[in-house]
Amino acid sequence: MGTAPKDASNHTRTANAPVELGFDPGDFDRASRGLLAQLAGGKVDTAFGVVWDQGRYDFIERGSTNPETVNPSLWRQAQLNGIHGLFEVAPNMWQARGYDISNITFIAGATGWIIVDPLTVEPCAKACLDLANATLGERPVVAVIYTHSHTDHFGGVLGVTTQADVDAGRCRIIAPEHFLHETIGENVIAGYAMIRRATYQFGPLLPAGPRTHVDCGLGKAIPFWPPGLIAPSEEITETGTELVVDGVRIIFQLTPEAEAPAEMNFFFPDFGWLCTAENCTHNMHNLVPIRGALVRDALKWSKYIGELIELFGERVELMFASHHWPRWGNDDVLQYLRLQRDLYRWIHDQTMRLANHGYNATEIAEMLEMPPEFRAESHTVGYYGHLVHNVKAVYQRYLSWYDGNPANLWKLPPVDAGTRYVELAGGADALLASARTAFDSGDYRWVVELVNHLVFADPTNVDARELQADALEQLGYQSESATFRNAYLMGAQELRNGTMPRTPAGKHGYLDAMTPDQLFDSLAVRLNADAVGGVQIAVNITFTDLGEDWVLGLEHRALHAVRGRHDPTAALTLAMPKIVLYRIIEGTVPFVEAMSEAAADGRVHAEGDISAAAAIFANLDTFLSNFPLVEP
C-alpha cells in the first residue's frame, strides 16, 4: 500500500469553494496585537530533536484562499492559530502563543514571574520563559497557576520551575480543588487508550500540508515530548477565594465538570483582567473529546459563564484564556461571554428537548443545525468541538450510550458483524461495487459505514482499505472541525500505510506527583485477573519518606489498598521510599530482581517472603502503544 493523499473530489471542491464567511476581521488584529518578539524560526529544538516547528505551517499564509482540500472556515482558523510570538497583553502581563497548542501567560509580580499554565511539555515552556526573560528582563518564577487538569496546562511545569523550588517555598503551585485526583484519573487510569485515540484527535503523525495536517482548532499542534507534573502546593476550594500572589490580588471561581473535571476562572480586581481558562476560547469546545474523557456538563458550563458575568462583568476590561487570543474592552468581552454562555445552554436544552420527544442521539445530531446567531461569530464555530458530537455527549450524560432500542443493547462485535454484513451484501465484490457507486455520488459517510464492515471482516482486502481511506479523506477535507479532519485523515493514513508497530508504552510523566493511593489504582488497572484466580495475599508497605502505612491486598482477582494500618497476617512487610514503587510500576526490571537490588543498597527493608508479592507484581499487564482503531 503506501498510497499518498489524493486530490479533492468534485463533490469536495464544491463543498470547499471559497466563500465570504462574514466573521469579525478584528480577530486578526486581536491575535497580532502587542507582538514583541518571536522564537527564531518558530522552532523549539533540543539535543534529542525538534519538539516544535511552527515553520512547518508556513504554507498557511494570512489572507490566502483556502486550498480545495481544506474547509474555508477551518483555513481561516488555521491562519489565526499560526500567529506566534511573545505578546504584550497589558502593562505587566504578556503571553507566548503559537509554541504549543496552549498559551503560557507571564504576569510580573512584586519579585518575580507569576505563570499561568506552563504549556504541555518542558522544552516549549522553557523556550517561552527564556524568550520572556530575554525580552522583558529576567525574573525568578515565584508562582505557577494551573487553570485545570488537562495536560497542555501543566505538562511543561519542569521548564519553568523545579520540585526543589516548590518544596523550599520559593515557588507556589496553585490549582483548583481535586486537580491531582482528576489529572491522574484521566491521564493514567485510561491514559494508554486515551493517548492512542488522541493521535486521531490531534493528528501528530500527519505531516503538515494542505492535504494533511493544518490545525487542531484549539491551537496549531501538539509538541513532541513527554509531559511532566509537579503536584500543587495550594488548592482553591471555594468560589470567591482571594489570594495575594507576589503582591497581585486574584479572585477565583471554581468551575468543576465544565471544560475539565477540575478547573477555575479567575479575576484580577486591581487591573480588570479576567482569565477564562479553557471555559471560553475562540471556538465551540467539545463536551466530550473524541480522544475520550468524562462527559462534560453543558448545563453547568453555561451557568458558570453566567456566574462569571455576574461576579466580574461590570469590572472586566480584558479577557484572556489558555488558548487563542485575548479580547479588550468591557462591551466586547461581555458580548463574547454572553454568546459563549448561550451556546452551551442551547446545545444542552435543545438536545434534551428532542430527547424527551423520543429521538435518540444519532437522530438529534442530524436534526439540530447551528442557528444564525452562532454561525455569525467564529468563536462559536466547532473548530475543536463539533455540534453532532456535542449533541451525543449531552445525550450520553443523561441517558447513557444506549438509545433505548433493544436491538442496540447487545450488538455483535465489529469483526462478527462485518463478516455477516459482507455475506448479506453478496460478498466482498458486491459490497465494494455498491460502495464505489456511493463514492461517485459523494455519499462518503455511507461509503465509510459500508466498507468498514468489509475491512473488519477481511483487513487484508486492499481494495476495501483504499476505498474507505478515499472516503475518509474526502470527509476530512470537507470538515470544519479540526479534530474531525485529523481523525478522518489519520484513519485514511493508517488504512493505506498500516498502523505503526506496537511497542511497550514508555515511562508515564505523572508518576512522581502521584499519591500512593493513585499509584495503587494504576497498578490495579494493569492486574491480569485471569492469572491470579484463587490467590489471596496481603502486603504491608510503609512509605518511609511519607510516614504512611498501607496494606495492598489481592483477593477475588482484584486489588485493594487500605491506608493507615498494617495487616498482621501479611505475607510480606516492606519499608521503602515511594520512589521504589515508581520503579516497580515502570516495569523495566522484574519485581523480585528490583526488590533484591533495592534491599541490597538499603532503600528497602523487607520482612517475610518477597517472592509471595510476585503474585501481584509479576502479573501486571504491559500496555502497548498503537493498538488498531480502523482495523481489527
How far is the C-alpha of 274 from the C-alpha of 264, rounded, in Å?
A: 11
Report the pLDDT value the prediction gives residue 43, as an integer from 0 to 100.
96
The answer on 200 and 92 residing in a single domain is yes
How far is the C-alpha of 174 from the C-alpha of 176, rounded, in Å?
A: 7
User: How do residues 89-131 score in pLDDT, each as one tens digit?
Assistant: 999 999 999 999 999 999 999 999 999 999 999 999 999 999 9
Task: Identify the domain containing residue 451 by its residue range.
Answer: 411-497
Query: 324 to each of 99, 236, 462, 631, how far by Cα in Å?
Result: 12, 25, 41, 36
Report the pLDDT value the prediction gives residue 189, as an integer from 0 to 100.
83
What is the average pLDDT score of the chain?
95
* Cell representation of residue 182: 482528576
The answer on 441 and 373 residing in a single domain is no
Report the pLDDT value the prediction gives residue 508, as an integer from 0 to 100.
58
Residue 174 has phi, psi (to 5 degrees) of: -110, 130
* Cell representation of residue 574: 516492606
Is 83 within the bounds of a domain?
yes
User: How do residues 423-445 score in pLDDT, each as one tens digit?
Assistant: 999 999 999 999 999 999 999 99
Is 395 within the bounds of a domain?
no
Residue 617 in this model has a pLDDT that exceeds 90: no
* Cell representation of residue 176: 483548583
**DSSP states along 263-278:** BEEEEETTTTEEE-TT
Helix axes 298-312, 330-355, angle to 10 degrees: 150
Residue 343 in this model has a pLDDT that exceeds 90: yes
Is 63 within the bounds of a domain?
yes
The answer on 585 and 523 residing in a single domain is yes
The answer on 291 and 382 residing in a single domain is yes
54 close to 98: Cβ distance less than 8 angstroms: yes
| Region 583-589 average pLDDT | 70
Report the pLDDT value the prediction gives residue 624, as an integer from 0 to 100.
83
Binned at pLDDT 50, 70 and 90, residue 505 comes out as low
279 close to 117: Cβ distance less than 8 angstroms: no
Is 4 within the bounds of a domain?
no
Residue 590 in this model has a pLDDT that exceeds 90: no
* Cell representation of residue 275: 482569565
Is 419 within the bounds of a domain?
yes
β-strand pairing of 273-275 with 318-320: parallel
| Region 143-168 average pLDDT | 97
The answer on 307 and 241 residing in a single domain is yes
The answer on 361 and 460 residing in a single domain is no
Is 401 within the bounds of a domain?
no
Of 353, 387, 421, the residue that ends a domain is 387
How far is the C-alpha of 399 from the C-alpha of 623, rounded, in Å?
A: 31
CATH at 374: 3.60.15.30
What 3-state DSSP class applies to 173?
strand
User: How do residues 11-67 score in pLDDT, each as one tens digit?
Assistant: 999 999 999 999 999 999 999 999 999 999 999 999 999 999 999 999 999 999 999
* Cell representation of residue 279: 471555559
- The CA-to-CA distance between both ends of the chain, in Å, stands at 18
| Region 473-478 average pLDDT | 98
Report the pLDDT value the prediction gives residue 381, as an integer from 0 to 100.
98
208 close to 178: Cβ distance less than 8 angstroms: no
CATH at 474: 1.25.40.880
How far is the C-alpha of 630 from the C-alpha of 564, rounded, in Å?
A: 47
259 secondary structure, DSSP code:
S
Binned at pLDDT 50, 70 and 90, residue 594 comes out as confident
Report the pLDDT value the prediction gives residue 509, as an integer from 0 to 100.
66
How far is the C-alpha of 168 from the C-alpha of 505, rounded, in Å?
A: 33
Nearest Cα to 383, choosing from 68, 11, 56, 75? 75
| Region 266-291 average pLDDT | 98
How far is the C-alpha of 156 from the C-alpha of 441, rounded, in Å?
A: 48
Report the pLDDT value the prediction gives residue 513, as an integer from 0 to 100.
80
The answer on 234 and 87 residing in a single domain is yes
Residue 450 in this model has a pLDDT that exceeds 70: yes
495 close to 466: Cβ distance less than 8 angstroms: yes
Nearest Cα to 393, choosing from 448, 430, 344, 438? 344
Nearest Cα to 101, choosing from 73, 122, 121? 121
Is 627 within the bounds of a domain?
no
Domain count of the fold of the chain:
3
The answer on 569 and 605 residing in a single domain is yes
How far is the C-alpha of 31 from the C-alpha of 220, rounded, in Å?
A: 14
Report the pLDDT value the prediction gives residue 492, as an integer from 0 to 100.
97
Contacts of 234 (CB under 8 A, 6+ apart): 172, 173, 174, 175, 243
What is the longest distance spanned by two Cα atoms in the chain? 76
Nearest Cα to 260, choosing from 293, 213, 282, 292? 293
Lowest mean pLDDT segment, chosen from 155-159, 504-508, 602-606? 504-508
Residue 626 in this model has a pLDDT that exceeds 90: no
Is 84 within the bounds of a domain?
yes
The answer on 141 and 216 residing in a single domain is yes
The answer on 541 and 480 residing in a single domain is no
How far is the C-alpha of 425 from the C-alpha of 438, rounded, in Å?
A: 14
Residue 342 has phi, psi (to 5 degrees) of: -75, -25
Report the pLDDT value the prediction gives residue 445, as an integer from 0 to 100.
98
User: How many CB atoms neighbour CB 21 within 10 A?
Assistant: 15
CATH at 586: 3.30.1050.10
The answer on 523 and 492 residing in a single domain is no
114 DSSP β-pair partners: 107, 143
| Region 228-252 average pLDDT | 97
The answer on 382 and 427 residing in a single domain is no
